[in-house]
Every structure is written in C-alpha cells, then in structure tokens.
Chain A
Amino acid sequence: MPELIRNDVVIDDTFAEAFGMRATAVIITADTIAWARQAAVTMTGFATSVIACGCEAGIERALDPAETPDARPGVRVLLFGVSTSVLEQQLVMRLGQCVLTAPGTACFAGLDGEERIKLGAAIRYFGDGWQIAKRLGGKRFWRIPVMDGEFVCEDTTGLTKQAVGGGNLMIMGRDRLSTLAAAEAAVSAIASVPDVIMPFPGGIARSGSKIGSKYKALAASTNDAYCPTLKGRVESALTPDIGSVLEIVIDGLTAASVRAAMQVGIGALVECGAANGLIRIGAGNYGGKLGKFQYPLHELLP
C-alpha cells in the first residue's frame, strides 16, 4: 500500500466499509441538563452494537432550552437498527424502561419525516386509562400520569431509511495510553458533528472484531490481524512499532454525516501527530463485498 503521511502519521490507503441502516431520533428534556443526560445515558447504555444489543444508540448532542419543544434543557438521542420493526421495538422498550422512569423527563420526536414510528402511542397504556391525548398544531402528545406528575411524550417520531452505520477509524499507536489519548481527541472532535453518534463506550471500541471464528457458535471473534500481542504469530496488519490499536465506529443519519465525522476525526488525529505516540490511521472493511458505502481515507485528509 502506498503510504501517505501527515504530521508524521501514516494514513493507510484503504477505505471504511459501512452499511445502510434504519434510524430514528428523540429529544429527551428534563428539569436540568443533568437529569436529561442521565435518562439518555440509561437509555443508550447497553446499545453499543446490533450484534447483541438490539440497536446502536447514543447522545448526538445537548440542546439549549431554546431548542426544545418545552423550553427545558435536553439532549437529542439517535438510535440505529437493522430493520424498522426491531428499531421500533428497541425504541419503545428503552423509552418505557429508561426515559419514562427518569425523574421529570419528557420525550419528543427528534426527527421529522413522513414515515413514523410509535413513541407515546406505544406506551400510553401505562396510564391505565388515565392517560390524556392532546393535539397541538399538527402534533399529538400523550400525558401519562406518573408519581412525579405527568410524563409528556409525543405520539410518534420520524424514521429514516437513509442512515449509515459502521463508518470507522482504526487508530494505531505506540502504546495503550498514547493511543487512547489520540482516540479521545478524535471522539471529542467528532462529538461536534451533527447527526452522528459513536455507539461504543466513550465512543471507542478496544475489541474490534472480524467475521467468523474457529468456534462454530460464534459469528464474530477478535480481529487478530490488529492484535498487538499476536504480531508476527498471525497474518498481522501491524508493523513492529505498533503497540496498541483502538477503533472509533460512527453511525450517522446520512452517508454525508458519516463522511463529515470521519473527516473531522482524521483531522483531529493528524493534529495529534506522531509526537505523542500516534503512528498510523487505518479503517476496517470487508473488501467492499458487504457494505453499500465506502469512505476512502485518502479522500478525507485535511
């Protein structure tokens, strides 16, 4: 592979391969930003990968009171799934167990659009007959009596079939801590890109996977080509100087938003430079055989 170098960091001439997904968004408000965040973190906590969590979800950004329907502090949460039915099921389950239960919250649609999925329409029955529907302008809301007052929840939210999941950056460094510092810088930069989330813990995955396993029961297993303790023992993608690898996975409401996030991420990594242990930037793909979307790294350089 021809090498491209920026600020002494090698950027692999490869591409990230990403997949079409369904996605939706909600706005969670509360009396304070802390409580809105808490509800959102609880809702999206176990949503790192569709492999075993049902959906991938995260906080897209915090919202000012001026930006929310009830003029209270809030956050916007994005959820991604492989199908509409699974996504709807996950949304409703998480709404009911994590947002409804959090003190002082309200929940509103976070995405416009003709295609809708149920929000309040699905959990209104919790009100046991005491729930109230209200129509204001073109929107419908449910008011469900709860112990701290009422849980207000919009009837439906929008759904998009144009979402993309699996945009990614592989960050290769000299050792674990310096690689982590570079990855954190990239996550911090990508957080300001609209319409994207990074579903893994803190935005970072340390256990990238490959398809297949020697064990029949497992669909995926450790990406040994990128495991530093196996350098030379397996067909490794790593050079001897690389001591640690971390991956950032990006899901976005549009292909363009994923591209923007990757570009911002690469920019932040290049700015880190090689001085503090960052060695190489790569990306994961399946030879272009599985995903519909491709993001060549060399097109995204600063």
Chain B
Amino acid sequence: MSATIFTLKETPPQRCDFSALIPGRTANVDEMERIEIQTTKERLRVGDLFRVTPGDEATLRFEGGSERFDCVGANMSGGRIEVIGDVGQMLGVGMRGGAIAVSGNAGRLAGAEMIGGRIEISGDAGDLAGGPLAGGTTGMRGGVIHIQGNAGERAGDRMRRGLLVVGGRAGSYLASRMIGGTVVCFGEARTLPGYLMRRGTIILGSRAEFLSPTFINTGAHELVAMRLLARWLIEEGIAGGSQLAATMRRLVGDTAIDGRGEIFLPA
C-alpha cells in the first residue's frame, strides 16, 4: 500500500504545529483533514492546507513543505514521514522510533531530545540539531540524525547517546557540553567543537576552525573502533563512511571540566 499523500495547496498563513499529525494516528482521511495545526487563535486544519489522498496510515508523505512547518514527526514512535520541501523547527522532537526524511532544509532544534528512530535531512539544518529544548538537561538520547548539508551552531549540544552525522560543515560549538554518543562531521567545523564536553566522541573528517587548548593531543592512533564505525555508516547508507581513516589523531577533553571525551581529526 502506498503512502497517505498530503499535497500542499497554498503557502501556510501562519506557523503550523504538526505534532498531532503523526503516522499510525488514524487511517481515516476525514479525521486527518480535521486535525488542527494552528499556532495562533486563527484555526487552521490539515484539510485547509492540504489535499489528502488516502493510503497507508503508517507512511505520511507531504508534497510541498515550508519553513513554517514546526514539530513535524514530534514524539512519533513508528512509521515513516517524508517531506518534499523544507520544514521548520523541532523536526522529530522527542521522537522514539520510525523514520523521517526531508528533501529540503530543516530549521532549528531538528531531532531535539529524540530517543530513537532516524531523521534524514537532505539539505541544511538550523542551530541545535539533536540538542536540548530550552531548559532541558540533555539533547538527543538515541537514534540517528543524518544532515547531508550543513548544520548550524551547537549541533549535538548536551547530546547523551545516539549518532549525529553532518555531511557538510558544522557551525560553532559542535557537540558543546556533550555527555555521550557520537558526532561525525565530514566538512569543516567552526570554532570550539566539543566545548565543555564531558564524554562522547566527535569525529572531524576535515578540520576545525579553532580547537580549544584544553584538549590534549594524544597522538595518531589506528583504532578498531574506527573500523566498526566506518562499517556501520556504510551499512546504514550514510555517505562518507569509507572516508574515515583507520589512523586518526585523538584529542582528549574537555579538560576544563575534567572531561574524558574525544575529538578525532585526520592524522
């Protein structure tokens, strides 16, 4: 059975909250069309913005996106969402399972506090991808975020577990305050990646604009763990996996907080 298709009819007149429209919620097209997605006092329903073509309720496909579409896939626990276009902020926030694929760009807080599942963004992502919500103590706690383009600032902030991959460049403070998990950035990282990180692994395939002197260079090492990661990336279809060199330079830190995290750079 093919996906349930939501064809965008017009530009959204306000920011929209998509948290009620997740896979498996309902199979009934009328119910779907009645779901409210407004964020102001002007009521806006799914049916006002989209023409809905019935299909498998576990797969939702949005033909036409917008940077005003917030909370797409919020807290979903299974199924699949595809967006042909952009999305706004908090893509897949709190997600527990399933998969989301966005062909365009995502706003800030993509995958914020996610616990499981997989997010694929073909374009760029805004700040705080995989990070915490305001006042949150941890960022993502599981799952995989793959940003094929560039990431904004503080991607992976306070990350606890899981995998964040940036195919392009990352903004400043990549994986700041990291607690655990793995971040891979194939392009250049701007200033101070791993700022105040406690544990976890950051792998930079290219270079960092500026590395904190509180990270200690332990030299070049050929590690079995790197083979496992490279192989896993290849198996998961994440491009660039084979680029991870067997021998890389390992920096341990952030010693400013007695951290035991690590940053890998090309040897």
Residues of chain A having any CB pair with chain B under 8 Å = 29, 69-72, 106, 129-130, 132-137, 141, 143, 149-150, 152
Contacts and interface: CB of A to CB of B under 8 A. Distances in A.
A133 B228 CA distance: 13
Given A141-B228, A152-B228, 13 more contacts: A70-B228, A71-B227, A130-B260, A132-B225, A133-B180, A134-B225, A136-B229, A137-B236, A141-B225, A143-B223, A143-B225, A149-B221, A152-B225
Interface string B218-235: 000111110111011001
A193 B232 CA distance: 30
A32 B163 CA distance: 31
* Interface SS of chain A: strand
The 8 closest A-B pairs by CB, nearest first: A136-B232, A152-B224, A70-B227, A106-B224, A70-B224, A143-B225, A150-B223, A152-B225
Contacts of A130: 260
Nearest to A141: B228
Contacts of A72: 224, 227
* Interface SS of chain B: mixed
Contact of A135 (B161, B199, B221, B262): B161
B164 to A, nearest CB: 13
Contacts of A150: 221, 223-225
A151 to B, nearest CB: 9
Nearest to A136: B232
A156 to B, nearest CB: 16
A69 B223 contact: no
B59 interface: no
B19 interface: no
A134 B201 contact: yes
Contacts of A71: 227, 231
Contacts of A134: 182, 201, 225, 228-229
Contacts of A152: 223-225, 228
Interface in B140-191: 161-163, 180, 182
Counting chain A CB atoms within 10 Å of each CB, the highest count among B199, B223, B228, B229 belongs to: B228
